[in-house]
Amino acid sequence: MTAMHDENAIDALGHRIREREARCGVIGLGYVGLPLALELARAGFRTVGIDVDTTKIERLRNGRSYVVDVRDAEIAELVASGQFTATAEFSALAELDTINICVPTPLRKTKDPDLAYVVAAVNEIQRGLRRGQLVILESTTYPGTTEEVVLPALEASGLRVGRDFCLAFSPERIDPGNPQYNTRNIPKVVGGVTERCTAHARALYEACVERVIPVSSPRVAEMVKLLENTFRSVNIGLVNELAQMSNALGIDVWEVIEAAKTKPFGFMPFYPGPGLGGHCIPIDPFYLSWKAKMNGFEPRFIELAGHINESMPRFVVEKITEALNQRRKSVRDARIHVLGVAYKPGVNDVRESPALNVMRLLHAKGAVLSYSDPYIAAIRDEELTLDAIPPDDRCLDGADCVVILTNHPDFDYAHVARRAGLIVDTRNALQGIAGGEVVRL
């Protein structure tokens, strides 16, 4: 009788999803969780967003966004209609039919995975877990996390996966600041612990995204995300090493790339820079590397790329030092103005930003630093305490060296080239623009 009742609970879940009657929840309202919650709400689901940051909750309740890809009006409309609500109370979980976990998965200083946020979210879910619920992990992690960490914690409730509740993994693939691809039109990979888990997770995503790709297991889905970002890390590592090599050989690496990408097959252009930043590419390969080592495999290729990418901030500082020396100026006491500190163009995120690493190295050498960034109003960490200033004539004229570290489209690069006497351009932002002395990677 109990088994029949449990089966009916799972069937009822599928029905509620298909009919848009399911009550949906998203834990973690960052650049991944907030857009997903809004898409679920727009699809007709009553959606609750949960986050421990009460400042975020207050902003959302007032219809205000803190994510560059989400407009205030989108939030205000869904809040006013009652389709979307935000709370810091995890007690709301017990009333939900579907729960997506979109919390951070950083690395420890030892570069081991830190699943503390995931474990905390799962423990909150487990306290109120009931029959007929669907739980989906979206946080990037190593293959095996869903079945080795999340599943045992949920089944500690006495309920069983595939019989009482559903569990799946679907990697987030958001590219913050990308005007072309968003939560709705990026294909969604999903792998459930059982076939029914996959089917229900697929149905939920098909209600709010354009294309869903089911795979055979959570491990495959977890590996998909790591392959995608390790692919980028390794190729960026390759081109960063080529940039250093080209510098030693007196070759313009940017010209080499432009010529190489004319080949219509067998080549994909990647570009050098001051290093890797953001929530994914500098971190995800180490999740894969850690898991590989736990299983007796030495991922030498992946780790070498990581070391090369991590060396780029120091290489940039060497370029700045050399450029200043050519002008009989030392780094110590040099007035160096940085353009762009976010980890990529068009975003208000400095997580793992290589620009900060470059600035810390310059600060340690005694440079007098200032910066401009339309998305980052202030830098506050153990080494740097700075407020953004506009890149006006006074700022540019007074700098011994201007360093372009993040090529925000908001900057007037022609004006920068006209006013600054010495520019170290790590992004090739000044290509084709005449002006002062420009030193490229």
With a CB cutoff of 8 Å and minimum separation 6, the contacts of 410 are: 374
- Reading the block at residue 257, the tokens are 């790339």
For tokens 């029959």, name the residue: 131
- The catalytically annotated residue of 166, 208, 280, 401 is 280
Burial label for 387, CB within 10 Å (0-12, 13-18, 19+), is exposed
For tokens 């209600």, name the residue: 207
Contact 151, 191 (CB under 8 A): no
Q: For residues 32 and 158, what is the distance between their CA atoms, to the nearest angstrom? A: 31
Contact 312, 273 (CB under 8 A): yes
280 given a catalytic annotation = yes
Q: For residues 90 and 42, what is the distance between their CA atoms, to the nearest angstrom? A: 23
Q: For residues 349 and 363, what is the distance between their CA atoms, to the nearest angstrom? A: 21
Q: Do the strands 23-27 and 98-101 form a parallel or antiparallel pair, or are they unpaired?
A: parallel
Say how many residues make up the chain.
441
With a CB cutoff of 8 Å and minimum separation 6, the contacts of 45 are: 20, 22, 23, 24, 83, 98, 207, 208
Q: Which of 402, 399, 397, 393 is nearest to 423 (CA)?
A: 402
376: helix, strand or coil: coil
The helix/strand count (H/E) of the chain reads as 15, 15
Residue 68: C-alpha distances to residues 161, 179, 296 (Å): 37, 10, 41
Q: For residues 287 and 170, what is the distance between their CA atoms, to the nearest angstrom? A: 16
Q: For residues 106 and 259, what is the distance between their CA atoms, to the nearest angstrom? A: 38
Maximum CA extent, the chain: 86
Q: CB-side exposure of 271: number of CA atoms within 13 Å? A: 14
Q: Could you list the active site residues?
A: 280
